């Protein structure tokens, strides 16, 4: 119950204006250990990094999720105090790159006036970013103006959420620091565009408030996804063909994720004209406010999980209204999972053969340019066709072999998608493991997307599996995570 009270105070507090910004600033020191997705039973070397944050109500420190990701030990130092205090993560949203941390020692928060949340700013308003960038240990500020407000991709999560772009410098170490207008937080610094000078991005108040409201019950649910793809309508003949009277309005529904909210409310070929009464233009945008437009995804992910939205559609030339309950996230519906944090990789070893579910983490084991370096049949689903289907919820990859007598002849096989186990199509990683563990048949027959056939003697493979993983210093033959 303590956390419920904390988050309610955070979201609804409207006390008097905060005092000096400096006294609420915090430098965050993170020791982290990330999981290795190429050798999933191991971790990378420990790393030290730093970031910024600020004190908000409820003895909480607001910062970025990526500042505290995979943390093994966390410390904070408030402005003007040389002492470091041990800190703990209370809540985290990797989707929105936000986190709340706290210090158990109440003296840390003594004489600190917490900062208040402000409003969504307007373009060309002046803004100041506070933080502790690399190159020094003292508090630093940079000034700039609001350049634009629209939905953009968050580097940390890959999701498209509302973003404020500013021309104030955001450097390594600034992450998690507040962007301030009129002594109030209008956003949290999160990323910069490396190909250009002084283009930075902050997480705006509506996204921060979404996180706080989500956490009121102490459980993080995330941002909803409807589960549909669409095509813009910018051609008059196209509009006439589908019964759209007004030029360049609406979008065409082209694909639906299996068992998604969209699949239960829409059909392929529907023209989506508005969401909650907000008209959709032919370029897929909606009006955020007068003179400001953003992608229609905003009308979905601004809601909380479990809420219902109203859709105006044209189906078979007839206008109608349908309702959609937003009860799934992008992670629930995706075939290849987006970036996974703070969680050990799933893997399974049988007869020295290593299997994993395909994820962005695994693709990134090819390096920064993974979309170029990795084999195309692994990158294509993530980049172009990432909705689950009735037949497949996850892609299972034979990553490589731990050479042993039992798998002789298969040593060169790696990075192939497992299609069937003894003739049964692979639907998910957990189902795949169940099929392999089934001891009712003598031989295990696997087929892959490249036409490879792997046959293992089940009894022999099981007999030597423990010896193989011990030989390569692997603590266990599997890590399986419970499904939501």
pLDDT in tens, 93-129: 999 999 999 999 999 999 899 999 999 999 999 999 9
Assess contact for 18 and 113: CB atoms under 8 A.
yes
Q: What pTM value is reported for the model?
A: 0.91
Tokens of 410: 């298969």
Based on the residue annotation, tell me whether 331 is a catalytic residue of this protein. Answer: no
Query: Among the options 57, 66, 94, 210, which is catalytic?
Result: 66
* Mean pLDDT for all residues in the chain: 92
Based on the residue annotation, tell me whether 147 is a catalytic residue of this protein. Answer: no
Predicted confidence at residue 13, as pLDDT, reads: 39
Domain spanning 228-330: which CATH class is it, in words?
mainly beta
List the CATH code of the domain at 335-479: 3.20.190.20
Residue 482 is classified by DSSP as P
Query: Among the options 97, 214, 270, 297, which is catalytic?
Result: 97
Assess contact for 451 and 338: CB atoms under 8 A.
no
Predicted confidence at residue 247, as pLDDT, reads: 77
Q: Residues spanned by CATH 3.20.190.20 within the chain?
A: 335-479
Q: Is the pLDDT of residue 437 over 90?
A: yes
Assess contact for 43 and 36: CB atoms under 8 A.
yes
In sequence order, the 6+-apart residues with CB closer than 8 A to the CB of 193 are 199, 200, 201
Predicted confidence at residue 246, as pLDDT, reads: 79
Q: Is the pLDDT of residue 5 over 60?
A: no
Residue 363 is classified by DSSP as H
What count of other Cβ atoms lies within 10 Å of the Cβ of residue 171? Answer: 17
Based on the residue annotation, tell me whether 72 is a catalytic residue of this protein. Answer: no
User: Long-range CB contacts (< 8 A, 24+ apart) of 246-252?
Assistant: 247/282, 248/281, 248/282, 248/283, 249/273, 249/279, 249/280, 249/281, 249/282, 250/280, 250/282, 250/314, 251/280, 251/282, 251/284, 251/296
Query: Among the options 50, 96, 175, 334, which is catalytic?
Result: 175
Assess contact for 234 and 205: CB atoms under 8 A.
no
Tell me which residue of 88, 126, 128 sits closest to 105, measured CA to CA.
88
Predicted confidence at residue 6, as pLDDT, reads: 43
In sequence order, the 6+-apart residues with CB closer than 8 A to the CB of 317 are 242, 243
CATH of 2-217, one of 2.40.30.10, 3.40.50.150, 2.40.10.120, 2.60.120.10: 2.40.10.120
Q: Is the pLDDT of residue 8 over 90?
A: no
Band (pLDDT 50/70/90 cuts) for residue 218 is very high
Q: Residues spanned by CATH 2.30.42.10 within the chain?
A: 228-330
């Amino acid at each position: 119950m303590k956390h419920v009270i904390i988050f309610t105070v955070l979201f609804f507090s409207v006390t008097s204006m905060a005092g000096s910004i400096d006294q609420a600033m915090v430098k965050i020191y993170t020791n982290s250990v990330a999981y290795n997705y190429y050798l999933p039973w191991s971790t990378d070397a420990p790393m030290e990094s730093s970031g910024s944050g600020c004190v908000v109500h409820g003895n909480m420190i607001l910062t970025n999720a990526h500042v505290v990701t995979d943390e093994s030990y966390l410390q904070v130092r408030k402005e003007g105090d040389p002492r470091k205090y041990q800190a703990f993560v209370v809540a985290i949203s990797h989707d929105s790159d936000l986190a709340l941390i706290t210090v158990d020692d109440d003296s840390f928060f003594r004489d600190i006036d917490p900062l208040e949340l402000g409003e969504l700013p307007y373009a060309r308003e002046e803004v100041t970013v506070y933080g502790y960038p690399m190159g020094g240990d003292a508090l630093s500020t940079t000034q700039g103006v609001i350049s634009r407000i629209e939905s953009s991709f968050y580097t940390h999560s890959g999701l498209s959420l509302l973003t404020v772009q500013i021309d104030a410098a955001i450097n390594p170490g600034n992450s998690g620091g507040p962007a301030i207008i009129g002594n109030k937080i209008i956003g949290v610094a999160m990323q910069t565009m490396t190909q250009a000078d002084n283009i930075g991005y902050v997480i705006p108040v509506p996204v921060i408030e979404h996180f706080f409201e989500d956490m009121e019950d102490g459980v993080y649910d995330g941002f909803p996804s409807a589960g549909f793809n669409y095509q813009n309508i910018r051609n008059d003949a196209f509009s006439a063909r589908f019964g759209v009277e007004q030029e360049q309005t609406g979008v065409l529904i082209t694909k639906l994720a299996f068992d998604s909210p969209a699949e239960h409310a829409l059909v392929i070929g529907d023209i989506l004209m508005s969401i909650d009464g907000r008209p959709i233009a032919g370029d897929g945008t909606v009006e955020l406010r007068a003179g400001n437009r953003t992608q229609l995804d905003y009308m979905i992910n601004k809601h909380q999980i479990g809420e219902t939205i109203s859709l105006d559609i044209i189906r078979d030339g007839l206008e109608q209204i349908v309702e959609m309950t937003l009860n799934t996230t992008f992670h629930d519906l995706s075939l290849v999972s987006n970036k996974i944090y703070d969680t050990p990789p799933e893997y399974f070893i049988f007869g020295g053969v290593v299997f994993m579910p395909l994820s962005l983490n695994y693709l990134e084991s090819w390096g920064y340019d993974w979309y170029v370096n990795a084999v195309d049949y692994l990158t294509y689903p993530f980049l172009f066709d990432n909705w689950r289907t009735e037949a497949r919820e996850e892609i299972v990859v034979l990553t490589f072999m731990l050479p042993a007598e039992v798998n002789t002849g298969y040593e060169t096989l790696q990075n192939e998608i497992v299609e069937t186990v003894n003739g049964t199509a692979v639907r998910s990683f957990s189902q795949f493991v169940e099929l392999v563990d089934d001891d009712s048949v003598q031989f295990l027959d696997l087929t892959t997307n490249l036409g490879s056939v792997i046959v293992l003697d089940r009894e022999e493979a099981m007999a030597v599996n423990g010896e193989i993983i011990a030989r390569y210093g692997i603590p266990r033959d599997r890590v399986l995570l419970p499904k939501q």
